[in-house]
Amino acid sequence: MKEDVKLLSVLSKKNVTPPPIWLMRQAGRYLPEYRALRAKAGSFWTMCMSPEMAKEITLQPIQRFGFDSAILFSDILTIPYALGLDVVFEESIGPTLTPITTTDALRRDEKEWARRLSPAYETLRMVRAELDSQTALLGFAGAPWTLATYMAEGKGSSDQRAAKLWGYNDPQGFARLLDILGDCVALHLVRQLDAGADAVQLFDSWASGLPEREFADWVIAPTKRIVEKVRAVKPDAKIIGFPRATTLAGYEAYANETGVDAVSIDTAVPPRWAAKILGKRVAVQGNLDPIALIAGGDALAAAVDRIVDAFEGVPFIFNLGHGILPETPVEHVAQLIACVRSSA
Amino acid sequence: MKEDVKLLSVLSKKNVTPPPIWLMRQAGRYLPEYRALRAKAGSFWTMCMSPEMAKEITLQPIQRFGFDSAILFSDILTIPYALGLDVVFEESIGPTLTPITTTDALRRDEKEWARRLSPAYETLRMVRAELDSQTALLGFAGAPWTLATYMAEGKGSSDQRAAKLWGYNDPQGFARLLDILGDCVALHLVRQLDAGADAVQLFDSWASGLPEREFADWVIAPTKRIVEKVRAVKPDAKIIGFPRATTLAGYEAYANETGVDAVSIDTAVPPRWAAKILGKRVAVQGNLDPIALIAGGDALAAAVDRIVDAFEGVPFIFNLGHGILPETPVEHVAQLIACVRSSA
Q: Distance (Å, rounded) from C-alpha B82 to C-alpha B103?
A: 14
> Chain A partners of B322 at a C-beta cutoff of 8 Å?
159
Q: State the pLDDT at residue B158.
A: 86
Q: Are strands A262-264 and B316-320 parallel, antiparallel or unpaired?
A: unpaired
Higher pLDDT, A90 or B257: B257
Q: What is the overall mean pLDDT for chain A?
A: 96
> Chain A partners of B166 at a C-beta cutoff of 8 Å?
none
Q: Distance (Å, rounded) from C-alpha B67 to C-alpha B137?
A: 11
A293 to chain B, minimum CA–CA distance in Å?
A: 10
Which residues on neighbouring strands pair with residue A69, listed in sequence order? A136
- Hey, are the CB atoms on B168 and A249 less than 8 Å from each other? no
- Hey, are the CB atoms on B248 and A248 less than 8 Å from each other? yes
Q: State the pLDDT at residue A89.
A: 86
Average pLDDT in the A10-17 region? 97
Q: State the pLDDT at residue A42.
A: 84
> Chain A partners of B250 at a C-beta cutoff of 8 Å?
268
Q: Contact A246/A254 with Cβ under 8 angstroms?
A: yes
- Hey, are the CB atoms on B169 and A291 less than 8 Å from each other? no
Q: How many other C-beta atoms can be found within 10 angstroms of the C-beta atom of residue A276?
A: 12
> Chain B partners of A301 at a C-beta cutoff of 8 Å?
none
Classify A182 as helix, strand or coil.
helix
Render pLDDT for A269-326 as a digit per residue (tens, 0 to 9): 999 999 999 999 999 999 999 999 999 999 999 999 999 999 999 999 999 999 999 9
Lowest mean pLDDT among A65-79, A223-237, B88-102, B198-212: B88-102
Q: How many other C-beta atoms can be found within 10 angstroms of the C-beta atom of residue A37?
A: 15
Q: Model-level pTM greater than 0.90?
A: yes
A342 to chain B, minimum CA–CA distance in Å?
A: 22
pLDDT at A225 over 60: yes
Task: Please identify every residue of A annotated as catalytic.
Answer: 25, 29, 38, 75, 150
CA atoms within 13 A on the CB side of A326: 3
> Chain B partners of A209 at a C-beta cutoff of 8 Å?
245, 266-268, 289
Q: Distance (Å, rounded) from C-alpha A92 to C-alpha B302?
A: 40
CA A104 to chain centroid: 28
Q: State the pLDDT at residue A343.
A: 85
Pick the closest to residue B47 from B69, B93, B78 (CA basis).
B78
Q: State the pLDDT at residue B92.
A: 76
Q: pLDDT tens digits, chain B, 344 residues: what are they?
A: 565 899 999 999 999 999 999 999 999 999 999 999 999 998 899 999 999 999 999 999 999 999 999 999 999 999 999 999 999 988 777 899 999 999 999 999 999 999 999 999 999 999 999 999 999 999 999 999 999 999 999 999 889 999 999 999 999 999 999 999 999 999 999 999 999 999 999 999 999 999 999 999 999 999 999 999 999 999 999 999 999 999 999 999 999 999 999 999 999 999 999 999 999 999 999 999 999 999 999 999 999 999 999 999 999 999 999 999 999 999 999 999 999 999 86
Per DSSP, the residues of B242-260 read EETT--HHHHHHHHHHS--
Q: Distance (Å, rounded) from C-alpha A215 to C-alpha B55?
A: 40
Pick the closest to residue B174 from B211, B221, B137, B133 (CA basis).
B221
pLDDT at A1 over 80: no
Q: Contact B323/B287 with Cβ under 8 angstroms?
A: no
Q: What is the CATH number of domain B6-341?
A: 3.20.20.210
> Chain B partners of A270 at a C-beta cutoff of 8 Å?
212, 247, 249
User: C-alpha distances in angstroms, A102 versus A108, A177, A179, A216?
Assistant: 14, 8, 13, 22
Pick the closest to residue A216 from B268, B286, B208 (CA basis).
B268
- Hey, are the CB atoms on B268 and A292 less than 8 Å from each other? no
Domain map (residue ranges) of chain A:
6-341
Q: Distance (Å, rounded) from C-alpha A136 to C-alpha A130?
A: 12
Q: Contact B174/B167 with Cβ under 8 angstroms?
A: yes
- Hey, are the CB atoms on B270 and A249 less than 8 Å from each other? yes
Q: Distance (Å, rounded) from C-alpha A328 to C-alpha A198?
A: 28
- Hey, are the CB atoms on B169 and A249 less than 8 Å from each other? no
Per DSSP, the residues of B1-47 read --TTSHHHHHHTT---SSPPB--TT-SSTTSHHHHHHHHHH--HHHH
Q: Distance (Å, rounded) from C-alpha B146 to C-alpha B140?
A: 13
User: What ranges in chain B are assigned the alpha helix state H?
Assistant: 6-11, 32-41, 44-49, 51-65, 78-82, 110-130, 144-153, 161-169, 171-194, 212-215, 221-233, 248-257, 271-273, 290-295, 297-310, 330-341
Q: State the pLDDT at residue A90.
A: 81
Question: Which of A169, A211, A290 is nearest residue B268 as measured by Cβ atoms?
Answer: A211
Comparing alpha-carbon positions, the chain B residue that sits nearest to A288 is B211
Burial B127-161, CB ≥16 within 10 A → b, else e: beeebeeebbbbbbbbbbbbbbbbbbbebbeebbb
Q: How many other C-beta atoms can be found within 10 angstroms of the C-beta atom of residue B324?
A: 25
Residues in CB range of A302: below 8 A, 6 or more apart: none
- Hey, are the CB atoms on A211 and B168 less than 8 Å from each other? no
User: CB-based burial of residue A229 (10 Å sphere; 0-12 exposed, 13-18 middle, 19+ buried)?
Assistant: middle
Q: Contact A64/A336 with Cβ under 8 angstroms?
A: no
- Hey, are the CB atoms on B291 and A165 less than 8 Å from each other? yes
A32 to chain B, minimum CA–CA distance in Å?
A: 22
Task: Please identify every residue of B annotated as catalytic.
Answer: 25, 29, 38, 75, 150
Q: State the pLDDT at residue A298.
A: 97
Residues in CB range of A92: below 8 A, 6 or more apart: none
Q: Distance (Å, rounded) from C-alpha B29 to C-alpha A200?
A: 45
User: Best of B248, B309, B320 to disrupt the A interface by mutation (most A CBs within 10 Å)?
Assistant: B248
Per DSSP, the residues of A189-242 read HHHHHHTT-SEEEEEETT-TT--HHHHIIIIIHHHHHHHHHHHHH-TT--EEEE
> Chain B partners of A265 at a C-beta cutoff of 8 Å?
none
pLDDT at A332 over 90: yes
Q: Contact B244/B223 with Cβ under 8 angstroms?
A: no
Comparing alpha-carbon positions, the chain B residue that sits nearest to A266 is B209
- Hey, are the CB atoms on B270 and A212 less than 8 Å from each other? yes
Q: State the pLDDT at residue B42.
A: 84
> Chain A partners of B211 at a C-beta cutoff of 8 Å?
267-268, 287, 289, 292, 303, 321
Q: Which run of H or of E encompasses A325?
A: none
Which residues on neighbouring strands pair with residue B58, listed in sequence order? none
User: Best of A159, A168, A287 to disrupt the B interface by mutation (most B CBs within 10 Å)?
Assistant: A168
- Hey, are the CB atoms on A168 and B211 less than 8 Å from each other? no
Label residue A34 by pLDDT band (50, 70, 90): very high
B311 to chain A, minimum CA–CA distance in Å?
A: 15
User: CB-based burial of residue A176 (10 Å sphere; 0-12 exposed, 13-18 middle, 19+ buried)?
Assistant: middle
- Hey, are the CB atoms on B212 and A270 less than 8 Å from each other? yes
User: C-alpha distances in angstroms, B148 versus B5, B90, B175?
Assistant: 34, 20, 10
